[in-house]
Structure 1
C-alpha cells in the first residue's frame, strides 16, 4: 500500500513525498482509514512505529478544508504528557502540513504566556499542549473547546502515570460530546482500557504493539555493578565504543543527571544534561544540539526525555533502572526508531535495583542477557528473589566485542577485547559458549 491509496489531500501527499516516505507503517495503514471515516480509535503501538503520523496525517486532511471560527477555539486539540513530545507533534504538523494554510499553536507549561495569549487571541485550527497549561487557559477563558472536532490523547498511559488524570477529565468535560476522540498509548493495561471505555464511543482498536512490549531490533544487555563507582567505570567503557553514535543515558534524579553530564564532559565527551529544572529555552537548545550532532551523550531524566525522536540515537544506557517497569519500555524506545537497530544497556547492583530489574523482566517475559567485560567484572552476583522469566539463549548478533577496554596506561593503544556472556536468571550465572 502507498500513501496515495489512503486518499489524503494532495498537499499532504506532496509533503509526505518531500519527507522521503513512500509506504505507510502498519499502524498508519490501519489507523488512517478509520480516522478519516470519523471513528473513535484506541491505538496501542510501540514507540518508533510512526504513531504520530498515524493521527496527524488524517487530522491535517480534515483541516485542509478551511473553516472560519472564533478566536481561541481550535478544531483539533492534541494533549501530550511532556513538552518534548508536544514539540515532536508540532514538528510533524509543520512537516506534513507545510503546503496547507494552517493556524496552529503550542501551549506548554514553563513557557511564556505572552506568545500563547497572542496565538489564542485569533482564530486557530490546531492546538498542541500539555495538560496543566491547557487547563490554565481553559480556566482563564483564553482557550475555547466548544467547536472542537477531534481530541487526541497522545501517550495517554504516561499522562496517567504523571498524575494528569483529573486534568484529562476536565478537558474532556469541556469538549463537545459529539467530538471524535483518538487515544494512543504505548502500553495497554486494564487502567488504559477503563479510560478508553469512558472516553471513546464505539472505538476501533488498533494494536500494533501486541503483548510483547519491546522492539525486536533493540539488542538488550545487562551489566552487573558492585556500586556507583563501578557503574561509572562501565559507563566510561561503553561510551568509548566505536559503534556508539549517540546515546541517551538515564539518571534517576535531576541532580545526578547534571553531575554525570559534567563528569562525562570533563572526560572529553560532548555531553549535556536534560531535566525538568531547566528552562524551556535551554531544553530546546539541548535537544536541538542533540539532533544536530553537537551533543553525543545526553544524560536525562525520564520525563525530560519523553518524546525525543532523534534518528541518530544508537544506544540507550540505563545508568539507573526506572522505578516503573513500563518506563523501561519508553526509555529504550528512544533507540531502534522506525525499523533501525539499536542497543539498550542497563546497569544493576544489589539492593533496590534487583526488584526493579525483576519487575522489568516480568513485563518483558524474559531475562535480560548479562554481559561481563574483561577487567570490569563484578565481584559478587545479583541476589535474586525469584526467576524473572524464561532463560535466554545465546544472544548472537550484536555483541560487545567492539567495545574498548577502559584499562591501560595513558597513551597506550587500547585493545579490542572479547566479552564473556552469562545468563542472568536465578541460581547465579552460567557461562555460555
Structure 2
C-alpha cells in the first residue's frame, strides 16, 4: 500500500495502492510524515488499511473514526514528553498577570472582569515569549487570550508589523481585528485585516503606512508577503487561530509557505477548539518546546448551554416546526444552521414568504453584502440569522442566546462550534436540534463524542431564554 524511501532529509512516504502492506504498524517517523505526504483521498485509503493492520478495526468491518482518532493521538504523543513542556501557573485575576496598565484598561473596558479558565492559564506564558498550543471551547475568551499576549509584547515605538495572525475565514479575521483593536485601544495599536474579497491596493496602502499587527486569511497574507507589501523583517509573533479548520479547508500548504517567509526565530501560538492529530503534527514543524494547554474531549461540552432535540420524523416537517418556534426565536437573537448554501437561500425564501423576518449569509455572497448583514445582526436590528458553518467558528455576537440546528452538522466536531454561538462567556443559552429518523445516528454520535445527554425539547422553551 505504501513504502518508505530513505532520503537525506528523512523518510518520504510513497503511495502505491498496488504494493503490499510493508509493516504492521508504521513507526513514529512514518506517522509524522504520513499526513504531509498524501492527498486526502490517498490518505483516507491508507488510513483505513492502517486501522485494520493496527488492530483498531478488524478486516471487513466499518472504520471507527473515533477509535482511530484516539489511536493517532496516542501514537503522535508517544514522544510528547520530549517535545512539549508543561506550564502549571494559574492567575486568577488580570491584575496578577503583570500586564501593562493601558492593556489592563483595554481589557476592563471591553467588559472582562475575571479571566476565564483558558485566560488564567494561557495569557502569561504567551507574554513571556513561549511557544504555546492552547485548546479551549468557543465562548471562553480564546481570542482575547492571544490578543492580550500579542499586545503585551509589541514595541509601539516601531510602526512595523511585529505580529501575524492567521484565521480560516474573512469573518473570523475581521472579528479578531476588532478584538485586538478594542483591547489595545489605550495602547495606540495599529491593526489591519488582510482578507480576500477586499481591495488589494487598499491593503498595500495601509501596510505601507505602517501597522503593528496583521490579521488575515492565508491566501491574502501570502499574496502580500510575496509582493513584499507586507514585510516580515520585524515579525516576532505568529499565531494560527482555529488551526484545525485551516487544515480541513486545505490551507496547510499556504501556511507552510508563509512560515518559510518569516524570520527563523519567531514565537508561535496555535489556538483551536479542537486539536486533531494533523494539527498537533503541524506544531512539531513550527514550534520550539511549546507549552501545551489541552482540554480533554469530555471537557469540551459548553457549560451553561441547555441542549435539546425535536423529533420531526421527516425532512418536510422541519419547516413547520421552525415556523411554530418563530415567536420564541424573535424574543432573542437566534442563529439557524443548515448544511448547504442552497438550503440557506431556500429556507430564507420560505420563511419570508410566510411573513417571518429573517436575514441570511453564506460564502457565495460578496464580502460587502456579508459585512452589512453581520453588522445589522450584531447591532440587533436583525434578530434571526440563517447560515452555514461559515459562521460556526469564532464569530462573537454576544446577544445570541438560541441556536437551532435545522440540519445536524455532518461532523460531531462542528456541533461544538455551532452551539458555542449561544451562551457566550457564561451567559445562558439554548441549542435546539431538529432530528429526523435519518439523523438518529448522528445525534447518538454527538452525545457520545461530548459525553452528554441531549434531552427532548420541553413545552416551556421560552422560559429558558
TM bucket by the smaller chain? 0.7 to 0.9
Q: Say if 2:156 and 2:212, in contact at 8 Å, map to a contact too.
A: no
1:60-71 matches, within 5 Å, as 60-69=151-160
The TM-score, its normalising length taken from structure 2, stands at 0.76
Deviations 1:213-262 (A, max 9, x none): 21121111111223232111111122322785111101111121122123
Residue 291 of structure 1, aligned match among 378, 396, 399: 378
* Counterpart in the other structure of 1:105: 192
* Counterpart in the other structure of 2:136: 45
Change (3 A) 1:209 1:90: farther
Change (3 A) 1:243 1:121: closer
* Counterpart in the other structure of 1:393: none
- Cα RMSD after superposing both structures: 2.0
Change (3 A) 1:128 1:231: same
* Counterpart in the other structure of 1:17: 108
Instruction: Give the match's secondary structure for 1:278.
Output: coil
The TM-score, its normalising length taken from structure 1, stands at 0.81
1:171 equivalent to 2:230? Answer no
Q: Say if 1:150 and 1:180, in contact at 8 Å, map to a contact too.
A: yes
Change (3 A) 1:218 1:106: same
Q: Say if 1:46 and 1:209, in contact at 8 Å, map to a contact too.
A: no
1:119 equivalent to 2:178? Answer no
Q: Which is richer in helix?
A: 2
1:113-192 matches, within 5 Å, as 113-192=200-279
- Counterpart CA distance in 2 for 1:62 and 1:299 is 39
Please state how far the C-alpha of 1:265 moved relative to its aligned partner: 2.8
Q: Say if 1:269 and 1:297, in contact at 8 Å, map to a contact too.
A: no
- Counterpart CA distance in 2 for 1:31 and 1:107 is 26
Residue 348 of structure 2, aligned match among 250, 255, 261: 261
Q: Say if 1:222 and 1:347, in contact at 8 Å, map to a contact too.
A: yes
* Counterpart in the other structure of 2:448: 362
Deviations 1:256-293 (A, max 9, x none): 11221232233333311110111111111111111111
Please state how far the C-alpha of 1:17 moved relative to its aligned partner: 2.6
Residue 28 of structure 1, aligned match among 92, 98, 119: 119
Q: Say if 2:297 and 2:450, in contact at 8 Å, map to a contact too.
A: no
Change (3 A) 1:44 1:316: same
Residue 76 of structure 1, aligned match among 144, 159, 163: 163
Deviations 1:387-421 (A, max 9, x none): xxxxxxxxxxxx43245xxxxxxxxxxxx9xxxxx
Please state how far the C-alpha of 1:197 moved relative to its aligned partner: 2.1
1:198 equivalent to 2:270? Answer no
Deviations 1:134-155 (A, max 9, x none): 1222232322223210000011
- Counterpart CA distance in 1 for 2:200 and 2:358 is 31
Please state how far the C-alpha of 1:41 moved relative to its aligned partner: 0.4
Q: Say if 2:329 and 2:402, in contact at 8 Å, map to a contact too.
A: no
